[in-house]
A and B are shown apart, each in its own frame.
Chain A
Amino acid sequence: MVRQLTRRNFLGFAALAATAPIFEVKPLRGVDFILQNSPTPQKYLIETMPGGVALFDYNNDGLLDLFFVNGGRIANPLHVPEKFDRGNSKYWNRLYRQNRDGSFSDVTEAAGLAAADNGNYGMGVAVGDYDNDGYPDLYVTSYGKNVLYHNNGDGTFTDVTTKAGVAAAGWSVSAGFFDYDNDGHLDLFVTRYMDWDSDHNKICGGDWHTYCPPGVFPATTCVLYHNRGDGTFEDVSERSGIAVKKGRALGVSFADYDADGFTDIFVANDGMQQYLFRNNGDGTFRECALESGAGLTSDGKGLSGMGTVFQDYDNDGRPDILVTELPRELYALYHNDGQSAFSYQSLESGLGALTSGSSGWGIGLEDFDNDGWKDLFVAQSHVLDNVEKIDASLRYKELPLVALNHHGHFDRVDSGATSPLAGRGAAFGDINNDGWMDAVITTLGGPPVLLLNRAGGSNHWLSIALRGTHSNRDGYGARVQVNGQTRFATSAGSYACASDKRVHFGLGSAEKATIEILWPSGQKQVLNDVRSDQFLEVREPGRS
């Protein structure tokens, strides 16, 4: 113990001594997007909840592009049936294509993504190649109806929601593609927040006039769509057991936590118990968060779960769960102890000291310094825009949290951001393809912020693009292990966002890597002596 503490102290000191921030805030050249949440004195709860960003390469040119989900105009007062003026270009979602010089071009209209339905107030986005045609498709969640945009492969998208049968209804927030039955076709999970509409809105906080806590409104169910493989989906929420549990779901993340070969689902619920849906492998799920130890805090209390990530932070090979929360709670870290059991380790990991006064939304576990340990990034801001009047110790706008991972212990470092932000979504990827992970965050009522990795140091890295053959084309759900580290391939997680699908590993001083992939199909693949510092496509063996 003494040795561990000494080492930790040394590492903590070393982290503090490193004065250069990990990131540099860089302008997104050519991006003029403003997230229009349109706050009103009515304190409609939807106003404080958007919005998502996707980092994905829609045209397969090797450069990450950006898709932003917009809110809409909110009338004061607003009544059912709500209209959000989404035909007005100010309220469009936006697609920006990255150019070779690192700038971006607005291709929203040309791509056919302008003018969202007037009844939809945008929330989040998921990315996945649901038809395995090699081009990533977009699923946009909303208060209203969700939209599936098929990527036509020629720079345009087509709204195929009706044909696909995935509109859902109500108030959706996060979504993610994953293959729960390992049939090679990506299925779709959608979180829904609550049963709410503007005619049943409430204002809380007495004279302070605040957004109401979630418990004021009725809970609702999440939605699971099974991909039939013919361009259509079937709503299997009831049959699968997902709809058995009502909640107030915001974030969702996926991983095979019990190593049975089937991807499981973690749902971040706001103001209550969290849900862990264990995949039974027969098309059904069983919610088991409480018995697994991943449902509450160590004191048995509920959490204001918002964003979530399901990856292995301590390199023990098992995916752990992180959940962002409101102040006075700690961001929850559920350590996967094996044997289908988790333990709440927010205090041991250092998150207690880092997060008890903050509000977190989008979250990522990425190896920002390429040292072989996944670091923490959180977009932060309180849910109440007037919280400072109510509690002077809290702040509405906050700096993002960046904490380096020192052998399982997180230590804060300078994020590089100098102005506090009303952060919401956060997506991660290597935007400039330099081998160092970057982050983009969305801000309520403001422009997105790019935190470009300063790429400091001499550590090596490896970025792997999976090419499924038996498995889904992008290998979502694959367990990828490199030099003792583990990642589950996914673009989902965080809050209402989709991240770069490439699987990134920091290698520290290692110039060679051994890659072991467990594909969703069950195939195992090992690649030895792989050169570091490269973007590598790995094809699933066995089928051309």
Chain B
Amino acid sequence: MIALLLFGWLAGQAGASNAAQHLQAGLNARNQHQVDVEIAEFRKATELDPRLADGFFNLGAAFMEKRDYGAAIAPLKRALELSPDLPAAHQLLGYALLAEGYAAEAIPHLEKVGAQDALAIAQLETGQLSDAVVNFNAVLAKRPDDPDLLYYLGHASGLLSKSAIDALISAHPDSARAHEALAENYFVLRQMPQAEKEYQEALRIRPDLPGLHLELGQVYANSAQWPKAEQEFRAETKLQPGKAEAAYRLGAALLQQGKAQEAFVELKHANDLKPDMPETLYSFGKAASLTGDAATAEKSWIRVIELEKDTSLAAQAHFGLAGLYRKQGKTDRAQHEMQEFQKLQSTIGPPRSE
């Protein structure tokens, strides 16, 4: 990262100097990519004139070019002592310090020149996570596909999240949110009994906290305890009647228990609240099929295919349509859908058990 930033800066600086003979010789050497000659010439220039800020700056820049960041620090610092407002020196010194692990020391130099990418890294290193996330987001707006930046942003966001949760648990260990946070951790670790216990404690403290029933329901769904999952999802739909996900989850839990008619109602409601969600539409189609409403099932699954085109959910919708048409005696259409299903399978992988 540092090397990339440096390369860009050096390119802009080549030929910009109008210093003395050795200084000029050093700049000439830079143009010819003779780094060692560069260093020797700039060193001579600084020895001959110890107050030559440009000489120290270029010596530091040459070390940076050679990726000897440790050696670059002293001449760059001297350059700034002689000429405190030299922006390029601040930038290079910031990079050098950051590369050598002195992130805290690098920050004021990077701030001075607005080097947001390096600054964000330095902030991440020094635990200034909120600032780091802000700066990473700002740079990503300009370079949205940069893999390094994406990695750093993810890393910083994760740490920020963990830090906030740690602070929550430390400061308010008996709060509903602390128990919820612990429960979420257990859920991720697939430790369902512990997750269940923490969610229940959170609910005991704040029974009306939105989201808790939904999350606890997912714990039960994950361990195939469908009646309990249904109960929690139902509670969430009462708390948040406008939340499509709660209605969807409730519908799916009902479907798992073979309560097709009730599932149909909930899934229809979920689709009304948030139309064109493929998962909802797919399950709605299943519920419709189970209740004998072939027309709705067909319509839902066709819409899934329109939305998804070549995903595994689209494959499932083709498979569902094949079954529907087979049952209706529409052999040709069933075969066509089965072919589409198999075609998608061959591109996205064979059918697997859940």
Residues of A with Cβ closer than 8 Å to B? Answer: 1, 5, 215, 271-273, 290-291, 293, 296-304, 325-329, 337, 339, 341, 343-344, 347-353, 356-357, 391-394
CB <8 Å contact, B222 and A393:
yes
- For A1, what are the chain B residues with a Cβ–Cβ distance below 8 Å? 261, 291
Whole-angstrom distance between the alpha carbons of A325 and B354 in the complex?
Answer: 11
CB <8 Å contact, B326 and A353:
no
CB <8 Å contact, A325 and B261:
no
Whole-angstrom distance between the alpha carbons of A348 and B289 in the complex?
Answer: 11
CB <8 Å contact, A272 and B261:
no
With contacts A300-B319, A343-B323, A352-B258 taken as known, whether A328 is within 8 angstroms of B354 at the C-beta atoms is yes
CB <8 Å contact, B258 and A329:
no
Indicate which residue in B226, B315, B354 contacts A353 across the interface (CB closer than 8 Å).
B226
- For B193, what are the chain A residues with a Cβ–Cβ distance below 8 Å? 392-393
CB <8 Å contact, B326 and A293:
yes
- For B256, what are the chain A residues with a Cβ–Cβ distance below 8 Å? 347, 352-353, 356
- For B223, what are the chain A residues with a Cβ–Cβ distance below 8 Å? 357, 393-394
A-B pairs under 8 A by CB, number: 105
- For B322, what are the chain A residues with a Cβ–Cβ distance below 8 Å? 293
CB <8 Å contact, B315 and A300:
yes
- For A271, what are the chain B residues with a Cβ–Cβ distance below 8 Å? 352-353
Interface assignment of B132: CB less than 8 Å from any CB of chain A: no
Whole-angstrom distance between the alpha carbons of A515 and B34 in the complex?
Answer: 103
B187: min CB distance to chain A, Å: 12
Q: CB-nearest residue of chain B relative to A2?
A: B261
Q: Return the CB mask of B305-318 against A: 1 if under 8 Å, else 0.
A: 00000000001101
With contacts A290-B338, A348-B290, A392-B191 taken as known, whether A353 is within 8 angstroms of B320 at the C-beta atoms is no
- For A337, what are the chain B residues with a Cβ–Cβ distance below 8 Å? 326-327
CB <8 Å contact, A348 and B260:
yes
Interface assignment of B286: CB less than 8 Å from any CB of chain A: yes
Interface assignment of B155: CB less than 8 Å from any CB of chain A: no
With contacts A328-B354, A392-B191 taken as known, whether A299 is within 8 angstroms of B226 at the C-beta atoms is no
A199: min CB distance to chain B, Å: 27
Interface assignment of B163: CB less than 8 Å from any CB of chain A: no
Whole-angstrom distance between the alpha carbons of A357 and B291 in the complex?
Answer: 25
B302: min CB distance to chain A, Å: 16
Indicate which residue in B326, B335, B341 contacts A300 across the interface (CB closer than 8 Å).
B341
A217: min CB distance to chain B, Å: 15
CB <8 Å contact, A291 and B190:
no
CB <8 Å contact, B225 and A302:
no
With contacts A302-B350, A302-B352, A353-B226 taken as known, whether A341 is within 8 angstroms of B338 at the C-beta atoms is no
Whole-angstrom distance between the alpha carbons of A392 and B354 in the complex?
Answer: 18
Interface assignment of B129: CB less than 8 Å from any CB of chain A: no
- For B257, what are the chain A residues with a Cβ–Cβ distance below 8 Å? 347, 352-353
CB <8 Å contact, B227 and A353:
yes
Interface residues in B329-354 (C-beta closer than 8 Å to A): 329, 334-335, 338, 341-342, 345, 350-354
Interface assignment of B255: CB less than 8 Å from any CB of chain A: yes
Whole-angstrom distance between the alpha carbons of A349 and B334 in the complex?
Answer: 24
- For A291, what are the chain B residues with a Cβ–Cβ distance below 8 Å? 334-335, 338
How many residues does chain B have at the interface if contact means C-beta atoms less than 8 Å apart? 40
A-B pairs, top 8 by smallest CB distance, nearest first, are A393-B223, A300-B319, A357-B224, A356-B224, A347-B258, A353-B257, A302-B351, A393-B192
CB <8 Å contact, B290 and A296:
no
CB <8 Å contact, B316 and A325:
no
CB <8 Å contact, A329 and B353:
yes
With contacts A356-B226, A392-B192 taken as known, whether A293 is within 8 angstroms of B260 at the C-beta atoms is no
- For A272, what are the chain B residues with a Cβ–Cβ distance below 8 Å? 350-353
- For B327, what are the chain A residues with a Cβ–Cβ distance below 8 Å? 337, 341, 343
B166: min CB distance to chain A, Å: 25
Sample of 18 A–B contacts (CB below 8 Å): A293-B322, A298-B319, A299-B316, A299-B319, A300-B318, A300-B320, A301-B354, A328-B224, A329-B353, A339-B329, A344-B323, A347-B258, A348-B258, A351-B258, A353-B227, A353-B256, A356-B256, A357-B224
Q: Return the CB mask of B232-272 against A: 1 if under 8 Å, else 0.
A: 00000000000000000000000111101100000000000
Q: Which of A273, A339, A347 has the most CB of B within 10 A?
A: A347
Q: Which of B193, B227, B323, B342 has the most CB of A within 10 A?
A: B323
CB <8 Å contact, A300 and B316:
yes
Interface residues in B196-247 (C-beta closer than 8 Å to A): 222-227
B313: min CB distance to chain A, Å: 9
Q: Which of B190, B322, B326, B338 has the most CB of A within 10 A?
A: B326
CB <8 Å contact, A301 and B258:
no
A307: min CB distance to chain B, Å: 15
Q: A302-B351, A347-B255, A347-B260 are in contact. List 14 more A-B contacts (CB 8 A).
A: A271-B353, A273-B351, A293-B322, A298-B323, A300-B318, A300-B320, A337-B326, A343-B323, A344-B323, A348-B258, A353-B226, A356-B226, A393-B222, A393-B224
CB <8 Å contact, A296 and B319:
yes
With contacts A293-B323, A293-B326 taken as known, whether A357 is within 8 angstroms of B225 at the C-beta atoms is yes
- For B222, what are the chain A residues with a Cβ–Cβ distance below 8 Å? 393
With contacts A291-B338, A341-B326 taken as known, whether A301 is within 8 angstroms of B352 at the C-beta atoms is yes
- For A394, what are the chain B residues with a Cβ–Cβ distance below 8 Å? 223
CB <8 Å contact, A327 and B351:
no
Whole-angstrom distance between the alpha carbons of A394 and B227 in the complex?
Answer: 17
Q: CB-nearest residue of chain B relative to A355?
A: B224
Whole-angstrom distance between the alpha carbons of A328 and B225 in the complex?
Answer: 11
CB <8 Å contact, B258 and A325:
no
B200: min CB distance to chain A, Å: 15
Whole-angstrom distance between the alpha carbons of A357 and B225 in the complex?
Answer: 8
Q: CB-nearest residue of chain B relative to A214?
A: B353
- For B338, what are the chain A residues with a Cβ–Cβ distance below 8 Å? 290-291
- For A341, what are the chain B residues with a Cβ–Cβ distance below 8 Å? 326-327
Q: CB-nearest residue of chain B relative to A270?
A: B353
- For A303, what are the chain B residues with a Cβ–Cβ distance below 8 Å? 353
CB <8 Å contact, A302 and B224:
no
B102: min CB distance to chain A, Å: 39
Indicate which residue in A329, A339, A349 contacts B354 across the interface (CB closer than 8 Å).
A329
- For A343, what are the chain B residues with a Cβ–Cβ distance below 8 Å? 323, 326-327
Interface residues in B155-201 (C-beta closer than 8 Å to A): 190-193
CB <8 Å contact, A327 and B290:
no
Whole-angstrom distance between the alpha carbons of A291 and B339 in the complex?
Answer: 10
